[in-house]
Amino acid sequence: MFLKEKRFKQIIRQGKVENEEEITYETATTAMRKAAHFFSALQASDGHWPGENDGPLFLLPPLVMCLYITGHLGTVFPEEYRKEMLRFIYCHQNEDGGWGLHVEAHSNMYCTVLNYICMRILGEGPDGDKDNACLRGRKWILDHGGAVSKPTWGKAWLSILGLFDWTGCKSCPQSFGFFPFFFLYNQVYSVAKMFVALISPLILQLREELHTQPYNEINWKKVRHLCAKEDLYFPQLLIQDLVWDSLYIFTEPFLTRWAINKLRKKALEMTMKHIHYEDENSWYTDIACVEKTFGSLLWDTSLGLEALLACKLTDEIGPTLMKGHDYLNKSQVRDNPSGDFRSMYRHICKGSWTFLDQDQGWQVSDCTA
């Protein structure tokens, strides 16, 4: 698009190197100049370089799932958008039928189930789609133990959708949010709330498609610690299983009793306070700017400028460097987070640079450096 808008035309002659021909300094310099001029033409008018951060394959499905739950999928993503999303998922399916953590990773249960659900939500049938993508993906899932073999966060997502039961998830009492910051447990609102979306006909179909046995016959307590070997990067210790089971057997019933359950309510209110604070201080881009498909504008721009500076072609690409410098200058964070930010587990960020832009506000050490 930028090349057309700028009517870019490469005027540097093409250097050719025949087989076994020695690469000279002049030939290498010509190739570098062509690359620098081409890259400069891809710069946006405000000085940054737009680009996708589409390597991870676990970012898009949760976004689609959340929009499906809230009933805004069709509003936010018109039909043509949904077609392109499906095209992206098709293109990165592995030959064995599964999907990995990123575009070059081996298939695992976490991303295979997420992308399968995403395809079904986006309108694909259980069998009728490009190259039998759903059929092949479902076969991979069932051949590797079914969706009950997803790791912890995958089970939480399934529970929110109504495709898994919360009793099969590892307990994470929200009340532990009152413990010191260095305590073992983090704050997870949806886990403590045990939220389950409205059960739709599609969800009922997915219950049949993703599990190796009827949904109502699954012993959820027995699958709590199941994890497909493709997702297991470190073996689970027996002591870990005992801790998680103890939390569910003893802590959960205790914290749900009258009077004590007031503590959970307070913890949930505190968690929501953190969520609202994060939204307001990042202009709703939050720390997960990549997951929201905004990309890594500042990171990409700073690395691109470093590459152009290393070319030592200031006389030829000076305007490009100036625009990039201006973008970086305007993108520096000018203020710390509002209010008592330390109580919100935030740090000083004034003078830093972020992964995305100034508004996002989360400082990153390598972007700042």
User: How many Å separate Cα 204 from the centre of its chain?
Assistant: 26
List the structure tokens of 96: 């064995």
How many CB atoms sit inside 10 A of residue 143's CB?
12
Amino acid at 362: W
User: From the candidates 241, 279, 326, 366, which is the catalytic residue?
Assistant: 366
Neighbours of 17 (CB within 10 A): 12
Q: Which of 177, 145, 157 is nearest to 59 (CA)?
A: 157
SS3 363: strand
Asked if 54 is an active-site residue, the reply is no
Residue 312 burial (C-beta neighbours within 10 Å; 0-12, 13-18, 19+): exposed
Strand, coil or helix: 14: coil
Q: Which residues contact 260 (CB under 8 A, 6 or more apart)?
A: 254
For the chain, give the number of residues. Answer: 369
In angstroms, the CA 353 to CA 361 distance is 8
Instruction: Count helices and strands (H / E) in the chain.
Output: 16, 0
Phi, psi (deg, nearest 5) at residue 102: -140, 180
Contact 291, 311 (CB under 8 A): no
> E strands along the chain, which residues?
none
Residue type for 89, please?
A: I
Residue 363, φ and ψ in degrees, nearest 5:
-70, 145
Whether residue 78 contacts residue 118, with contact meaning beta carbons closer than 8 Å, is answered with no
Q: How far is CA 232 from CA 113, 149, 150, 212, 229, in A?
A: 16, 10, 10, 20, 5
CA dist list (Å): 285 to 201, 232, 345: 32, 31, 18
Indicate which residues carry an active-site annotation. 366
